[in-house]
Amino acid sequence: MDEIISVILSAKENDQDVARVHTGDPSIFGSIAEQIRKLDSLNIQYEIVPGVSSFTAAAAVLGKELTLPEVSQTIIITRISGRTPVPERERLEILAQSGATLTLFLSVLHIRAIVERLTPYYGEKCPVAVIQKATWPEQKVVVGTLDDIVSKVKGKKFPPRQSYL
C-alpha cells in the first residue's frame, strides 16, 4: 500500500489527478479503510466510485439469482481464516446454520475443507461454482455440487483470490 500512496502523493504534488482502480468492490476485502485513513492524514481528497462486486458479476455469468423465494433470502459474504483470522462467531459452520447463500472470497486454496464443513448443512447436491475473473474474456468457471466440486477444480490452477457461490 505504501507504493500506491506514494504514487497518489506524487500526483498531488504535481497537481495531477489520479485514479486508484480496484478489481471488484473496493469495500469488500479491499483494504479501503486503511487507504482512507492514510489519504485523510495526508489531506488528500478522494472520491470512492463503486464498481460491480465480483460476487454479483459471478452470479450474472452463471445466469443465477442469489436469492430465491422459499430457498434463501439472505446472502452472506465472508471468507475462511487465512492470513487474517475470522472471529469465532463467524466460523463457516455457524454461518451455514442459517441456510443462506454463501459467497466465499479468498478461500479457493481451502476448497476441500470448505466442502467438508458445508456439506452437513447444505447437503452433497448443493450447487457450487468457483469463478475466476467473472465477466473478463479469460474468465474461468467450474460448476458442480458440494459432492464433486473438489475433483472438478483439481488441476485448474485457480489463484487464491477467487469467489465461490
Q: Name the more confident of 97 and 30.
A: 97
Q: What is the pLDDT of residue 60?
A: 95
**DSSP assignment, residue 79?**
E
The reported pTM is 0.77
Strands (E), 28-118: 75-79, 101-105
What is the phi/psi pair of residue 78, to 5°? -155, -170
Q: What is the pLDDT of residue 118?
A: 97
- CATH number corresponding to 54-164: 3.30.950.10
Q: Domain residues of the chain, as ranges? A: 2-41, 54-164
pLDDT digits (tens, 9 = 90+) for 124-153: 999 999 998 889 999 999 999 999 999 999
77/88 Cα distance (integer angstroms): 16
Q: What is the pLDDT of residue 162?
A: 58
141/55 Cα distance (integer angstroms): 13
Say if residues 147 and 41 touch (Cβ distance below 8 Å): no
Say if residues 75 and 95 touch (Cβ distance below 8 Å): no
Averaged pLDDT for residues 118-129 = 97
pLDDT digits (tens, 9 = 90+) for 68-108: 999 999 999 998 887 788 899 999 999 999 999 999 988 88
